[in-house]
Amino acid sequence: MANTRIVVVGAGLIGKRHIEAVNKAEGVEMSAIIEPMPSGKEVAGKEGLPLFQNLTDLLKAKQPVDAVILATPNALHVPGGLECIEAGLPVLVEKPLAESVEAGRKLVEAGEKAGIPVLTGHHRRYNPLIARARKIVKEDQRLGKLTIVNGMCWFLKGDDYFDVAWRKQKGGGPILINLVHVIDDLRNIAGDIESVQAISSNGTRNHEVEDTAAILIRFTNGALGTLSISDCAAAPWSWELTANENPAYPYTDQSCYLFAGTHGSLAVPNNQLWRYADDKRGWWQTIYQEKQNHPVSEDIDPLIVQAAHLGAVVRGEAEPIMTGREGLRSLEATFAVKESAENGGKIIHLKN
């Protein structure tokens, strides 16, 4: 079957990685780039791809396209996604799916009504390290009844990261840009979230948006969790620095997520599983680190897997793994964190 032809909208930081991923993935190929800024010319020239200012121009020019990857700033996800649905084009929308839950719901419902696949770009869903953790915790329940979860997203962004204005304004900030990934990881591995409570601070960077937040989570399965994020913490405990997923981030062999239940505990991504001998459980006994039998290849790039999956969905060979609706659930939990932090740590119950 012919390759699925992809248009990447927004050739910025992640857009360029999507182009690279599509170039490497099976069953898909780049058709064109949409990028209104002068930088678009350079990217299109380097890739040897046609460049357009917007989707209307591209469609008018009859450029072949089967699907779109939307890698624009957050506020443009819903308008861009709706435009794709109207044009009958399946679309993978970068995370966060939308800049509000209401807007995200509008996008998801429009896609469902039109029968056009809308996927959310939570690429970690395609990461075998996450899949392995999900199998141990959720599917095989090797930790017993899950009781407690700890997620850390601590890193130091360089000051030049904030030269791009939207990243430090309303709609940007580490809760919407980074925490949404962590929340999606925890939902995927541990289960759905029932409620959240949060406090946040912008006291170090003094941007309009937060730089640090601390969060309490109640999962629907009864487990509790703590989650913390800071983009001004000189520390290795984040997915970015521990998963070896993106060569831009130097790797450390640490973990950023901890899961524990009545029978064991797991560090992710370094996959240390701790358990007691079956007949000797309890804190006066020795807890052992179990030898793991779940090797995963270190060099799988989830963005490439995601691009191939998008192609398979468009060709009708696969059902979307990370739908717009799933993205909406993670988005709702993320906005609940913001709402709680803005209301003195009020408990916010989720609806979706």
Residues near ligand NAD (CB under 6 A) are: 9-15, 34-37, 39, 71-74, 76, 94-95, 121, 123, 164, 177
| Minimum separation from the CB atom of position 223 to ligand NAD (A) | 26
For the CA atoms of 301, 307, 313, 316, what is the dihedral angle to 10 degrees? Answer: -100
The single-letter DSSP state of residue 230 is E
Beta bridge partners of 119: 92, 323
| Minimum separation from the CB atom of position 195 to ligand NAD (A) | 25
| Minimum separation from the CB atom of position 157 to ligand NAD (A) | 11
| Minimum separation from the CB atom of position 60 to ligand NAD (A) | 16
Which is closer to ligand NAD, CB of 73 or CB of 90?
73
Tokens 């430090």: give the residue.
168
Which is closer to ligand NAD, CB of 80 or CB of 225?
80
The single-letter DSSP state of residue 124 is G
Query: Max CA-CA distance within the chain?
Result: 72
Which is closer to ligand NAD, CB of 31 or CB of 74?
74
| Minimum separation from the CB atom of position 10 to ligand NAD (A) | 3
| Minimum separation from the CB atom of position 148 to ligand NAD (A) | 27
| Minimum separation from the CB atom of position 350 to ligand NAD (A) | 21
Q: Which residue is nearest to ligand NAD (CB)?
A: 12
- Structural contact between residues 76 and 171, judged by C-beta atoms closer than 8 angstroms: no
C-alpha atoms less than 13 angstroms from C-alpha of 147 in its C-beta half-sphere = 8
Which is closer to ligand NAD, CB of 34 or CB of 108?
34
Which residue in 59, 138, 45, 105 sits closest to 326, CA to CA?
A: 105
- Structural contact between residues 301 and 315, judged by C-beta atoms closer than 8 angstroms: no
Which is closer to ligand NAD, CB of 167 or CB of 273?
167
Which is closer to ligand NAD, CB of 35 or CB of 66?
35
Distances (CA, A) of 255 to 158, 181, 247: 22, 16, 17
Instruction: Sort strands 272-276 and 287-290 into parallel, antiparallel or unpaired.
Output: antiparallel
Which is closer to ligand NAD, CB of 225 or CB of 327?
327
Q: For the chain, how many residues are written? A: 352
Distance between CA atoms of residues 119 and 109, nearest Å: 12
